């Protein structure tokens, strides 16, 4: 294994060239100079490949959960996270690095993953920038396929990229998929509930699903034992569970994990109604988080048994915030874009550190490539996290990483009349969140279909279980149904508006005084300078990285195949995982 000194010297030679290493294309200050290792200058002569062969390169284990926001016990800055324990996630925080300001580039499954695998802002990935019907552009370099080309053996289980076509294309599609043992883990609470109803012990039923996941991993490992050449290759394995995506079994947080919904009383974000139905819904989601933690523990044990734990870079994160709750998934508020991020790499990375630098998950693509000794393609707008990982410091390490840019175009294809998107971009700093809504006349969560249909209470209860029934950009959930049914009551009108109401062209929140982003100060005179500074900074990033929303005529995302007549998805069911 390489020494820490070797890696540090390598990085110093490869990246720090005496000029600025930050770029307007990443999460950093707005300068015009590209990093020497990514730009158009002389090619870098120093790389990990200088060491003796592929055997010195570490394995890569990437655990990436669907709809998993920043929920782990070690993130105890959030009150909700003080109500449950996640020993595996917390272990990674102790033995590795925990990032406190990691955000997805887009809070929607496909565009987030397009940014993740391409290492670019989502709006640069063509039809990968929308959820459905997304199409992957195979001319875009994707880090898993680049790793494979460089000598890594790659494979994945569960969900890599999608929904879209070809399915999971950036990770090799069916060719590199390993799911022969099954993927019942993706319906964790439903399957365990069904098994226990048949008399199977609760914990034994859970272990059945953990074993399936490990068996898929074993299938991948076995495929690498077919020849000495394959066995000599380092591996990159990706596990993409979707159990934290809707739906899950009502009451399962308590029934399967002994979580008490009432422990959440007074701990939910202020924009959520603190009522029994919402607390139970949130509690059930946390049960699915505990399933993630439990299966991660089994993977760590397996790597340890194989003698590969400390020679494997373990990265754990999720593709956006919690689904089916106002201001979560499909929103540019913190609840929608912030995610957990842990990195463990044996003794190569100093553990028990909390890093405050702002990170965009597109930064992971160049990070994986640089760890593997490869030079990231010039088109990648993400910035490698390697200098942060190799640092011995806590807190803010790179002063230039003081913001992150996120965005959104179209999520649910028929969410609005005319199949139109809800275009947004935002910039988040330590103290402020600024959001630019480009079409404030549209409904942010979709058209309020059927709200004047005369449906009875019973009809609404039944039909609102279909995401597309009304406000389709908010996943169907008990919380959504409760708000629809009670939103006209005076006590709850404010919460209905938080969830579904139209939004102004500009939003600005002072997170120092308003951590739950309740009070928009964009039009407050005392914040005029802050608003202008953040707006200018956001627009400079968007323009410099060729965001179609603000370059040319700005209409690309308003026309087919991104929106409009004929742009709806006819191949997929209305509710997708």
Q: Is the pLDDT of residue 304 over 50?
A: yes
Complete DSSP assignment for 61-107: EEEEETT--S--TT-TTSGGGGGS--HHHHHHHHHSEEEEEEE-SSS
Query: DSSP letter at 44?
Result: P
Residue 46's pLDDT band (cuts 50, 70, 90):
very low
- Identify the residue with better confidence: 22 or 80: 80
The CA-CA-CA angle for residues 147, 109, 136, to 5°, reads 55
pLDDT of residue 22: 33
Residue 4's pLDDT band (cuts 50, 70, 90):
very low
Residue 565's pLDDT band (cuts 50, 70, 90):
confident
Q: Is the pLDDT of residue 42 over 50?
A: no
User: What is the DSSP pairing of strand 97-103 with strand 341-344?
Assistant: antiparallel
Cα gap 147→235, rounded to integer Å = 9
* Residues counted in the chain: 577
pLDDT of residue 14: 39
Q: Is the pLDDT of residue 9 over 50?
A: no
pLDDT of residue 21: 30
Q: Domains of the chain, with CATH numbers?
A: 4-407 (3.40.720.10), 408-558 (no CATH)
Please give the structure tokens belonging to residue 448: 């309020």
The answer to whether 21 and 15 are in contact (CB under 8 A) is yes
Non-local (6+) Cβ contacts of 63 within 8 A are 239, 296, 299, 314, 315, 316, 317
- Identify the residue with better confidence: 565 or 445: 445
Please give the structure tokens belonging to residue 185: 């883990």
pLDDT single digits (tens) 343-386: 999 999 999 999 999 999 999 999 999 999 999 999 999 999 99
Q: Is the dihedral angle over the CA atoms 181, 71, 476, 164 positive or is it negative?
A: negative
User: What is the DSSP pairing of strand 353-360 with strand 97-103?
Assistant: parallel
State what percent of residues in the chain have pLDDT above 70. Answer: 87
The average pLDDT across 391-408 equals 97
Collapsing DSSP states into helix, strand and coil, what is residue 435? strand
Round the average pLDDT of the chain to a whole number and report it. 89
pLDDT of residue 5: 39
Q: Is the pLDDT of residue 10 over 80?
A: no
pLDDT of residue 569: 79
Residue 202, exposed/middle/buried by CB under 10 A (0-12, 13-18, 19+)?
A: middle
Question: Nearest Cα to 164, choosing from 206, 196, 118, 201?
Answer: 118
Cα gap 368→117, rounded to integer Å = 10
pLDDT single digits (tens) 77-112: 999 999 999 999 999 999 999 999 999 999 999 999
Q: Is the pLDDT of residue 183 over 50?
A: yes
Residue 415's pLDDT band (cuts 50, 70, 90):
very high
pLDDT single digits (tens) 538-564: 999 999 999 999 999 999 999 999 999
Beta strands in 458-536 (DSSP E): 506-510
- Identify the residue with better confidence: 52 or 69: 69
């Amino acid at each position: 294994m390489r020494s820490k000194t070797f890696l540090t010297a390598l990085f110093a030679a490869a990246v720090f060239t005496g000029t600025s290493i930050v770029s307007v294309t990443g999460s950093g200050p707005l300068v015009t100079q590209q990093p020497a290792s990514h730009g158009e200058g002389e090619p870098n002569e120093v790389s990990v490949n200088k060491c003796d062969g592929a055997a010195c390169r570490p394995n890569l284990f990437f655990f990436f959960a669907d709809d998993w926001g920043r929920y782990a016990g070690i993130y105890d800055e959030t009150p909700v996270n003080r109500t449950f324990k996640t020993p595996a996630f917390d272990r990674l925080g102790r033995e590795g690095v925990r990032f406190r300001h990691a955000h997805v580039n887009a809070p929607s499954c496909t565009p987030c993953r397009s940014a993740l695998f391409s290492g670019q802002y989502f709006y640069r990935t063509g039809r990968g920038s929308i959820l459905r019907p997304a199409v992957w552009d195979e001319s875009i370099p994707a880090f898993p396929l680049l790793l494979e080309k460089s000598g890594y053996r790659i494979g994945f289980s569960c969900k890599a990229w999608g929904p879209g076509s070809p399915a999971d294309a950036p990770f090799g599609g069916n060719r590199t998929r390993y799911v022969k043992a099954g993927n019942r883990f993706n319906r964790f609470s439903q399957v365990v509930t069904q098994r226990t109803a048949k008399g199977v012990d609760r914990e034994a039923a859970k272990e059945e699903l953990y074993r399936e996941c490990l068996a898929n991993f074993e299938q991948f490992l076995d495929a690498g034992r077919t020849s000495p050449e394959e066995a000599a290759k380092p591996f990159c394995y990706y596990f993409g569970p979707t159990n934290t995506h809707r739906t899950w079994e009502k009451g399962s947080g308590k029934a399967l994990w002994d979580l008490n919904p009432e422990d959440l009383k007074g701990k939910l974000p202020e924009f959520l109604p603190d009522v029994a139905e919402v607390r139970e819904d949130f509690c059930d989601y946390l049960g699915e988080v505990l399933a993630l933690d439990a299966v991660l523990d089994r993977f760590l044990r397996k790597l340890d048994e194989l003698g590969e734990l400390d020679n494997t870079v373990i990265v754990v994160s999720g593709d956006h915030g919690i689904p089916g709750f106002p201001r979560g998934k499909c929103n540019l508020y913190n609840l929608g874009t912030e995610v957990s991020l842990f990195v463990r790499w044996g003794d190569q990375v100093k553990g028990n550190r909390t890093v405050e630098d702002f990170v965009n998950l597109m930064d992971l693509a160049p990070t994986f490539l640089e760890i593997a000794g490869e030079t990231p393609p010039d088109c990648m707008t993400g910035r490698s996290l390697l200098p942060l990982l190799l640092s011995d410091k806590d807190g803010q390490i790179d002063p230039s990483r003081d913001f992150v840019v996120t965005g959104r175009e179209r999520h649910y294809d028929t969410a609005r009349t005319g199949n139109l998107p809800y275009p947004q971009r935002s910039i988040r700093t330590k103290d402020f969140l600024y959001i630019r809504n480009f079409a404030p006349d549209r409904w942010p969560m979709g058209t309020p279909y059927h709200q004047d249909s005369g449906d009875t209470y019973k009809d609404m209860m039944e039909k609102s279980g279909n995401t597309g029934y009304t406000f389709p950009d908010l996943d169907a959930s008990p919380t959504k149904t409760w708000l629809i049914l009670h939103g006209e009551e005076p006590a709850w009108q404010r919460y209905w508006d938080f969830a579904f109401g139209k939004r102004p062209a500009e939003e600005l929140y002072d997170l120092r005084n308003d951590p739950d982003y309740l009070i928009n100060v964009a039009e407050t005179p005392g914040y005029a300078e802050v608003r202008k500074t953040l707006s200018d900074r956001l627009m400079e990033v968007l323009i410099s990285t060729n965001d179609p929303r603000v370059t040319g005529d700005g209409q690309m995302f308003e026309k087919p195949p991104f929106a409009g007549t004929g742009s709806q998805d006819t191949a997929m069911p209305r509710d997708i995982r």
